[in-house]
Amino acid sequence: MHRELFDVLRKLKWGKLALGYPGVVTAAGKLCRHNLFTLPRQTFCKHFGDPSTSDFHTITPTPASTRIKTMTTPNGSSQKEEPTLYGERWKSKEGAGPSEVKLISADNRLLFVPKHLLQSHSNVLCDMLELPSTESPPTITLSDPELESAAQLTLFLLVVQGEIFAVAREAFPPEPNGTHTITAYHLYYFLQFAKKYDCPTALRLLEGFLYYLTRESFTRPSCSALPLDVFVLAAQADALQLASLVILMYEPSSAPDNKPHSLRQCASPFGTLPAHLPFTLDHVPMAAWKHIPLRYLFALQRSTAVLDGETVANKSGSSNQMLRFQDHYYSSKHL
């Protein structure tokens, strides 16, 4: 080990750095015959540490068998704990057999779901379940930690079974104050899941809930989504009438929001539009831009009240902005 260290030091030619080790560099700066191999032990230890002490570190390689054991099982698949049941509601029904599906969420929770429920509400899952399977019940293992967590799956399953969002929100853990709240993140993941697995009924139910939030002026305690959140979700679902309604119903607050950005409530992937600012593209945060389809960005930019010389946001201005928004949306089919 010591000789290997010496070889490294010699290859690096530390002597040429004029470190001043006795017997290594001549006054002319050239290497003499005496190199680090001939340094007295006392001098070497002074500069590099004593090899016999703990200060002189060595690397103990991990045996290959140990590394493999920690990464994979003998058959090469990743080690994973057995999934645990996600509440009594989702336990297997006695004698259900192939009439139910074993869903394993991305966070390794287990849900037994009626097969017909998935087949009737997801075209993608319906096709998957048509494939022959040797398992009974068939198993579907999901992997997206955002869209396919047990809580998000529960929200989806409850909603397509007829529960309203205000009730289905109890699928999520309670807030510190003990209430259950649906955030913009939950709605965004719900939308992406419904699009990923081609769930038309779920998309219609989500759109209906977003209409409800907008008409109620975003005052429902069951959901913390704000106008910007609903507008972005409507744009992603290409729900023009819903996006137009958000613009029509939006009213800036008369009191400016002077709180620092970090203190504003922002449980949203789209950022925050301060409540006192008008609903125009120049006030929409950059975080939301990447989520808004180009056609909707163009229509929102062209609809701004400033183009018509309006400086005060009012109901008349909102109505005009909404009409301009729709006109520019229809005229931008090429985008």
**pLDDT one-digit tens code per residue, 223-258:** 999 999 999 999 999 999 999 999 999 999 887 665
Residue 209 has pLDDT above 70, yes or no: yes
Domain assignment present for residue 35? The answer is yes
Cα–Cα distance measured from residue 127 to residue 129, given in angstroms and rounded to the nearest whole number: 5
Domain assignment present for residue 16? The answer is yes
* pLDDT confidence bin for 265, thresholds 50/70/90: low
* pLDDT confidence bin for 23, thresholds 50/70/90: very low
Domain assignment present for residue 31? The answer is yes
Domain assignment present for residue 170? The answer is no
Domain assignment present for residue 32? The answer is yes
Q: Given this model, what pLDDT does residue 305 score?
A: 56
Element (H, E) at 10: helix 2-12
User: Could you give the number of structural domains in the chain?
Assistant: 1
Cα–Cα distance measured from residue 101 to residue 141, given in angstroms and rounded to the nearest whole number: 10
Q: What is the pTM of this model?
A: 0.71
* pLDDT confidence bin for 263, thresholds 50/70/90: very low
* pLDDT confidence bin for 158, thresholds 50/70/90: very high
Q: Spell out the residues 6+ positions from residue 257 whose beta carbon is closer than 8 angstroms to its own.
A: 264, 274, 275, 276
What is the domain range of residue 28? 2-48
Domain assignment present for residue 12? The answer is yes
Domain assignment present for residue 27? The answer is yes
Q: Given this model, what pLDDT does residue 95 score?
A: 67
Give the pLDDT confidence of 162-194 residue by residue, as tens digits. Answer: 999 988 988 887 777 778 889 999 999 999 999
The pLDDT of 92-100, averaged and rounded, is: 79
Q: Spell out the residues 6+ positions from residue 263 whose beta carbon is closer than 8 angstroms to its own.
A: none
Domain assignment present for residue 145? The answer is no
Q: Given this model, what pLDDT does residue 267 score?
A: 80
